[in-house]
Amino acid sequence: MWKTSPLLLVLTIFATYVLSHPWTGVANEASYQSRSVSVIKPKVFIISLFGAEGAVWYHIPEFNLLARNITVPGLSRSFPDVHCTADGSVCQVVTGSAEINAALSMASLLHSPSFNLTNTYFLIAGIAGISPKLGTLGSVTFARYAVQVGLQYEIDAREIPANFPTGYIPQGSSAPWEYPRSIYGTEVYEVNDALRKIAVTFAKNATLNDTAAAQAYRAYYATSSVYAMGAAPPSVVECDTATSDNFWSGALLADAFENTTTLFTNGTGVYCTTQQEDNAVLAALLRGALRGAVQFSRVIVMRTGSDFDRPYDGQSAADNLFAAGAGFGPALKNVYLAGVKVVQGIVEGWDGTFKQGVQPTNYVGDISWSLPGNPDFGP
C-alpha cells in the first residue's frame, strides 16, 4: 500500500485549490457562472485615467454611474472604487495617471472576483496631446495601434551622432531607422479595426464642445499649411497613439516619435496623439485575454486633444509646453460627449450586434504575436 507524505498531500491540496480559481489562467464563462449571482457582468467598462476624466461621466442624464460603488483591492488609493449603473451594464474605473498606475489598477480589476468581464467591451476614454498635422484641440481620436515610444535607447540631443535625426534608438539596434532587435512585448498593441470604425460612426453623432479660448489658440496654427488641421474645428479622427511616461513638447521629439510609430508598425501606424497610459492598460487586458478573462477584440482606444505636441510657427517648445490649457476643457467634455455615444451604441445594440462580438478584419494583439492571427507588423 502506497503511503502519501505530508508534504505531497499539502502540495496536492494547494494545486487543486489554485487550479480551481479563475485567475490562474483557466478563466472562462463557465467558471464565472459557478460563482455568486452578485457578480457584475458589464456590457461596457469605461477606463478613465485621472480624476477629472472620471468625474465628467458622473451625474449625467443617460445613466447614473454612481448607483453602485465597488471597492476593489489593488486599485489606486486615490480611486479605490469601481462605479457602475444600477443594473451593472456600464461600469467605470479610474486607474491613476502614468504607466505604472494604469497597469497595476487594470491588473487588480481583472483579478477582482466582483466582476465577470468575459463579454465586456472596454473603452479607454482620456485626453491626450495631439499633432496639428491630423487633429486639433477638442478632436476625438480612435486608435488602431498604441505604440510605447518611450521604450527605447536615448542619447541627449546635445550628444547625438551627426548623422542621427534623433537621440531615440530602438532597443537592440544601432540607429534610429532600424527595427528594434530587443523586444519586450509591450511596444505595440493593435486593436479591432472593425470595432474602431463602428465606434467612430457612433462618435460622429455627437455635437463636440468648442470654446472661444480654444479657437483663439488654434488660430496660431493657421499660418502653416502642414498644421492646417490644428486650426480647424474639432472632429472625429482615425489615427494612432503613442505612450510615454515623459510629457514632452517640440517638433523634434514629435518627429522622432512619428518615426517610431511608423517603424514599429511596419509603416501602417499613423501617429497623432500622445498619452501616458494606453500601452499599460492594453498590456493588462492582453494578459487577461490570454487566461480567458477578457476578449482583446473588444477594446476601443479613444483620446481627445487637450494640447498640441509641437509649437506653432515662431513659438518655442517650452512656450508650447507651458501654454495655458485652452484645450483642456473641450477635451474633457468631448471625452464624455463622444464616449457616451459609443457606450449607448453598444448597450442599445447588444442583442443585435455586440453580444456575439464584432469580427476583426485585422490582426488583434501585441508585438509578440501572443494571440492567434496573422500579424501585420513586428520583427
Give the whole-angstrom CA distance, residue 94 versus residue 141.
20
pLDDT at 353: 95
91, containing H or E segment: strand 90-94
Give the whole-angstrom CA distance, residue 247 versus residue 308.
11
99, containing H or E segment: helix 99-110
Nearest to 279, CA basis, from 373, 368, 175, 155: 368
Exposed / middle / buried, residue 227 (Cβ in 10 Å: 0-12, 13-18, 19+)? buried
- HSE toward the beta carbon, residue 124, CA cutoff 13 A: 37
pLDDT at 36: 47
Nearest to 278, CA basis, from 256, 303, 248: 303
Could you give the C-alpha distances from 233 to 9, 191, 345, in angstroms and in order? Answer: 69, 27, 25
Give the whole-angstrom CA distance, residue 14 versus residue 203.
49
Q: Is 190 helix (H, G, I), strand (E, B) or coil?
A: strand
Q: Torsions phi, psi of 170, nearest 5?
A: -55, 140
pLDDT at 18: 36
pLDDT at 377: 85
Give the whole-angstrom CA distance, residue 121 versus residue 201.
16
Domains and CATH numbers, the chain: 36-366 (3.40.50.1580)
Give the whole-angstrom CA distance, residue 124 versus residue 121.
10
Give the whole-angstrom CA distance, residue 198 versus residue 190.
16
**DSSP per-residue letters across 198-238:** HHHHHHTTS-----HHHHHHHGGGGG-STTHHHHSPP-EEE
Cell triple for 49: 485615467
pLDDT at 59: 81
79, containing H or E segment: none
Cell triple for 18: 489554485
Cell triple for 124: 479607454
Give the whole-angstrom CA distance, residue 339 versus residue 343.
6
Give the whole-angstrom CA distance, residue 311 versus residue 320.
5
* Residue 76 contacts residue 96 (beta carbons within 8 Å): yes
Predicted confidence pLDDT, tens digits, the chain (379 residues): 343 344 433 333 333 333 333 333 334 444 444 344 589 999 999 999 999 999 999 988 788 999 999 999 999 999 999 999 999 999 999 999 999 999 999 999 999 999 999 999 999 999 999 999 999 999 999 999 999 999 999 999 999 999 999 999 999 999 999 999 999 999 999 999 999 999 999 999 999 999 999 999 999 999 999 999 999 999 999 999 999 999 999 999 999 999 999 999 999 999 999 999 999 999 999 999 999 999 999 999 999 999 999 999 999 999 999 987 999 999 999 999 999 999 999 999 999 999 999 999 999 999 999 999 988 888 7
Cell triple for 83: 462605479
